[in-house]
Structure 1
């Protein structure tokens, strides 16, 4: 590489990482728009949960075939970073295969292992494209995925194919050049990489030295530039889960799925009602804060973990595919709940950016403008979506908080539910009979 190449490489590297950092700061800012919630308890259980679910992909294997394909991609993504690290070192210092001298024979094994994983990743990527576009799996072709979400999924898969082809072009041509003693790396012989020793001879064996050098540089630069493009595309894509799955599973709710949080203000009122010594007409203590807003109507009312959930959503649709409401034709889709929350969060973030760090009310909200009451009341609160999610996202928690808002702030529950709550208040039970009438069955015994 020439000094000009080194300078150009550093410029691309600094710009790529800088733009990525800028967008990550936006994501962190948007997540912090949510209410505070303490998830610092039980660190050991949280580390274990993250290791099993995010790193070990434990929940993916409830569906073996897509899990195996995903694992191929995942393993290739992780291990290939070693080769990327070498490219960065070579690009900055003008070296070629910097790690080869120090690692010796292990270097050949390492790159061979990366190539095998890359080949498996290529197979998996083609399979995923076929599942979406040829087989048209129902959960990957729902209404909420029409338009940009479908294009996004296909685009990221195409980028992965290009990246793998760049790897094999770089290694295959270098394999041929090295065997001719014409490689950038001094020496003769062959790398004997597991895949490119065959691909190199098959596709590049008869080419001139000049053509081989050009193709090797295309593969090398293509690999680097595709990684930079992929890194900065993450912000605009559903593939943020590559990074956020780890904090998302660490901060996941460790309580039993059926356990809901009580509202502090409501709990306090109930305790006062149950206390025979309490004065029901007493004025609030001086300096006491007004009760917080009940439930959630917009993203600022949700907690920061719920907003992190929205950014982590992979749009895989496993939640929607097991949702009994969706299966029976109702409007609810847990995946759409998460996508809508993320879209509203992005809209609020753009508002803040436009107004120099201050949110200017826009007469819009997550409730009604994105998610309708019909969707919320279709939920059976069965937790199937939470159980199925590969990265421990909880659409149900958002649904329940928005239901709370409808009931406690707007008195907008469905008629049947309002009737039930009235009966509980008046009769101490959900049925329209007072307590004395409910005991009439004894007289018939």
Structure 2
């Protein structure tokens, strides 16, 4: 019976990490459903972006209040969880605060952890007030239905409880308080429990210890189902983020080559293409479902923080249009999850379910409301590119379904017939200069 707690701890730890690994494997599989994308260029610039944006939070602080609070929560939560290493060793081998033997360094670390825990707790309360009392508009848009709205609050409650358990664990640890080493916050909480016996204090300390580590494992596995997956994915997402100028749009290579060939006076358009020429035409132009998008775009969808900064700066949304860049990313992720469940249910094969991203999740009205201004891309704190998905779906509508709006069809007809977007005879195209 002496080793029962250690065995129980090992089982819980293995189950928590095992379930997390299973979900990570599923996540990678879902992302790999996307088309291939070459993002192997400019490694130094990509590492710099990852360091500045994901680690340094450089785009978060453009909104100072939220940015500074987020840095506190981010750093606090990550740094405090360094102590998880000590908890794991203590749990597996039955020791107690095994790192305390390093003396003053241990005191400095635990003291820093306690200060950060308090700062995280205060910051989370401010976030909760902004979300639920002040009710910032971007948290209450139409796409923020019950689950996305509750998910944001669940995380805040998780963090408040975990920080409280950490401080209570320290405050009721008689041995730790006697050491007077690093208890910079918990020493002021210890008197709250002064009327209790040493045995009762030990029970509270052990209870807080168990709840803290189990809570961390639950939180770890909750990430897969939550917008807070960005805690892990922000790093690869910023590394693989777009490096080209934001106004630069990608072209289909097959279409570009076709146009070049047609415009080259030295090439007979009716002749067979030269050997080795790039003539392959894609099976499908643009995207109507998640499998038509690149794996980088699917990574974008899973990384979305649902913060709403993109939507709050979208001129189409601000003028009452239906488009919300945040919804585009949320819909893409929801459809990708649906496809993943379909594959799970059909033993690794996708069975046509009669649905697709276009129409069932994202409407054409949303797509054509976009002005391609890149405000959403610029606003995103983790380098997500909603515009690229919008453009791929537009490309499908135009090139596969000939379903462009009337205004766009008129323009393309004019270009085809007159060589210009306007309905003027080619002989009259330069008349404007005489006016």
> Under a length normalisation based on structure 1, what TM-score does the superposition of the two structures give?
0.95
Q: Tell me the equivalent position of 2:342.
A: 351
Cα contact 1:2–1:94 (8 A) shared by 2: no
How far is 1:177 from its partner?
Answer: 4.6
Q: Tell me the equivalent position of 1:165.
A: 164
Q: Take 1:335 and 1:285, find their aligned partners in 2: how far apart are those partners? A: 46
> Under a length normalisation based on structure 2, what TM-score does the superposition of the two structures give?
0.97
How far is 1:283 from its partner?
Answer: 5.0
Query: Which piece of structure 1 moves more, 160-169 or 285-294?
Result: 285-294
Q: Tell me the equivalent position of 2:285.
A: 294
Q: Take 1:2 and 1:236, find their aligned partners in 2: how far apart are those partners? A: 37
Q: 1:291 to 1:189 in 2, by over 3 A?
A: closer
Q: Tell me the equivalent position of 1:72.
A: 72
User: Does residue 264 of structure 1 match 2:253?
Assistant: yes
How far is 1:438 from its partner?
Answer: 2.5
User: Does residue 398 of structure 1 match 2:397?
Assistant: no
Q: Take 1:388 and 1:397, find their aligned partners in 2: how far apart are those partners? A: 15
Q: Tell me the equivalent position of 1:118.
A: 117
**Structure 1 gaps, min length 5:** 180-187
Q: 1:441 to 1:193 in 2, by over 3 A?
A: closer
What are the Cα deviations for residues 64-84 of structure 1, in whole angstroms up to 9, with x where unaligned? 000111111001111112211
Structure 1 segment 130-141 matched on structure 2, within 5 A: 130-141=129-140
Q: Take 2:182 and 2:188, find their aligned partners in 1: how far apart are those partners? A: 9
Q: Tell me the equivalent position of 1:388.
A: 379
User: Does residue 341 of structure 1 match 2:340?
Assistant: no
User: Does residue 276 of structure 1 match 2:275?
Assistant: no
Q: Tell me the equivalent position of 2:100.
A: 100
Q: Take 2:141 and 2:309, find their aligned partners in 1: how far apart are those partners? A: 12
Cα contact 1:265–1:292 (8 A) shared by 2: no
How far is 1:352 from its partner?
Answer: 0.4
Q: Take 1:406 and 1:218, find their aligned partners in 2: how far apart are those partners? A: 58
State the superposition RMSD in angstroms.
1.5
Secondary structure (helix, strand or coil) at the match of 1:143 reads coil
Q: Tell me the equivalent position of 2:199.
A: 210
User: Does residue 417 of structure 1 match 2:416?
Assistant: no
Structure 1 segment 32-111 matched on structure 2, within 5 A: 32-101=32-101, 103-111=102-110
- After the TM superposition, which segments of 4 or more aligned residues of structure 1 sit over 6 Å from their partners? 284-288
Q: Take 2:221 and 2:179, find their aligned partners in 1: how far apart are those partners? A: 39
Q: Structure 1 residue aligned with 2:181, among 167, 175, 191?
A: 191
Q: Take 1:127 and 1:178, find their aligned partners in 2: how far apart are those partners? A: 31
Secondary structure (helix, strand or coil) at the match of 2:59 reads helix
Q: 1:189 to 1:401 in 2, by over 3 A?
A: closer
Q: Take 1:24 and 1:192, find their aligned partners in 2: how far apart are those partners? A: 36
How far is 1:292 from its partner?
Answer: 3.4
Q: Structure 1 residue aligned with 2:314, among 306, 323, 326?
A: 323
